Structure 1
Amino acid sequence: MRVKHSMKPNFKVCVIGDPEHCDEAKAKKVNFIDMDTVRLMRKKSSIAKRIIKKYDGFLASTTIIKDVTNLVGPMMKRMGKLPMPLAHGDNLYEKILESKTTMTFQMKRVLWLAVCVGHVKMTPDMLAENIDTAIRSLLTLLKKDWQNIRSIHLKSTMGRPQRIY
């Protein structure tokens, strides 16, 4: 699900690409990893963990995304950072913006759900737009819409929770 404003101010993206995407990322001064590094990450898990923790999101070329998910996919899935596909005709900056503004709900069997919708430096209007978009998309995932929601709280890192529903 995509929101209007980025949830993290310093969102770091890395491109895992074929030679064409690596050259494009290098020209646009975006961090990138080639397939040789991915194969090295498969052999040495400490290097893989360090690289995966360093970035908030990944974009992978559609030609090699299957190899990437086979080699380091399980580790990326555990950390919640599976790569988004990057086709050859796509604009790199638009894809980076899309990965910055994409929010995922991880529906589990637990009775509560926590999602990041913004940061403290956002204006109240920007935060309200993100919250509204998040709630509307959550309602589409639930079977009985508002009947499944008991309450909605907002919480900042060091602040008290504020009940909004």
Structure 2
Amino acid sequence: MAVGEEEIQEALQKAREKSTDRNFTQTFDLSISVKGLDLSNPENRINEEIILPHGTGKAQKVAIFADGELAEKARKGGADKVFSKDELEELGDDSTEAKKIAEEYGSFLAQADLMPVVGKELGSVLGPRGKMPQAVTPTEDPSDLIKESRSTVRISVRENPVANLPVGKEDMPDDQIIENIQTVLDFLVEQLPKGPRQIKSITLKTTMGKPVKLEVY
């Protein structure tokens, strides 16, 4: 672990104090800088999804590319949008709409046998955004995956040695935000070849607030 629970608690309290009053509930943003990681080597790049134990405070919209039985299960399972194969192919011919969809939905699922079609039609749009869908078998009940996707955040260290991601909302209890932060840090440490020694700095802030630096050891 690169930082202890007491340090996270203290930083969270300071971030709340430094938060500027706004007429909306602000997000807590975590920024983690790493060192000694050669990002020119694709094997060192990190681009993974993490399920936060308490979510971000705002459920992500989830879409699925599916037909038939799986499409019906996805609708019953709470998917925000179900795109058929025909609709998927139409998106491939409309780059403006494809980009709009890519931004609107936080996470995507896809019927396993449609994955090649997704790659062909939307790979250039979803890939760079780190939103290529998770495959679902046609007979699978996607309800749990849809639920998990709503609490998922992506941690990405690819072009720059810094990961930025939301870890909660101002109206969430401290213990939930702390557990979310610990989950992210534990995950990142496991991904780094030299573990916590490669954590350079960590800051926490609200959307409009000033950043608070956590003590790294």
Distance (Å, rounded) in 1 between the aligned partners of 2:100 and 2:157: 28
Q: CA deviation at 1:132?
A: 0.5
Please give the root-mean-square deviation of Cα atoms over the aligned residues, in Å. Answer: 1.9
Mapping 1:37-52, distance limit 5 Å: 37-52=87-102
Residue 164 (structure 2) aligns with: 114
| C-alpha contact (below 8 Å) 1:14/1:59 kept by paired residues | yes
* Larger Rg, first or second structure (1 or 2): 2
Mapping 1:117-128, distance limit 5 Å: 117-128=167-178
Q: CA deviation at 1:152?
A: 1.1
Q: Residue deviations 1:8-56, cap 9 Å, x none? A: 5141111110222222233445321101011111111122122222211
3-state SS in 1 of match to 2:186: helix
Structure 2 gap segments, 5+ residues each: 1-49
Higher relative contact order (CA 8 A, sep 6+): 2
3-state SS in 2 of match to 1:97: helix
User: 1:86 is aligned with what amino acid?
Assistant: V
Distance (Å, rounded) in 1 between the aligned partners of 2:57 and 2:137: 25
Alignment partner of 1:58 is 2:108: yes
The number of residues matched between the two structures is 165
Mapping 1:1-165, distance limit 5 Å: 1-28=50-77, 30=79, 31-108=81-158, 110-165=160-215
Structure 1 gap segments, 5+ residues each: none
Distance (Å, rounded) in 2 between the aligned partners of 1:107 and 1:26: 34
Distance (Å, rounded) in 2 between the aligned partners of 1:68 and 1:160: 40
Q: Residue deviations 1:117-137, cap 9 Å, x none? A: 222222111100010111111
Distance (Å, rounded) in 2 between the aligned partners of 1:60 and 1:156: 34
TM-score, normalised via structure 2 length: 0.69
Judged with a 3 Å threshold, the aligned counterparts in structure 2 of structure 1 residues 98 and 29 are, in CA distance, closer, same or farther, namely closer
Judged with a 3 Å threshold, the aligned counterparts in structure 2 of structure 1 residues 108 and 46 are, in CA distance, closer, same or farther, namely closer
| C-alpha contact (below 8 Å) 1:8/1:100 kept by paired residues | no
Between structures 1 and 2, the one with greater strand share: 2
TM-score, normalised via structure 1 length: 0.88
User: 1:26 is aligned with what amino acid?
Assistant: R
| C-alpha contact (below 8 Å) 1:18/1:63 kept by paired residues | no
User: 1:125 is aligned with what amino acid?
Assistant: D
Q: CA deviation at 1:64?
A: 1.1
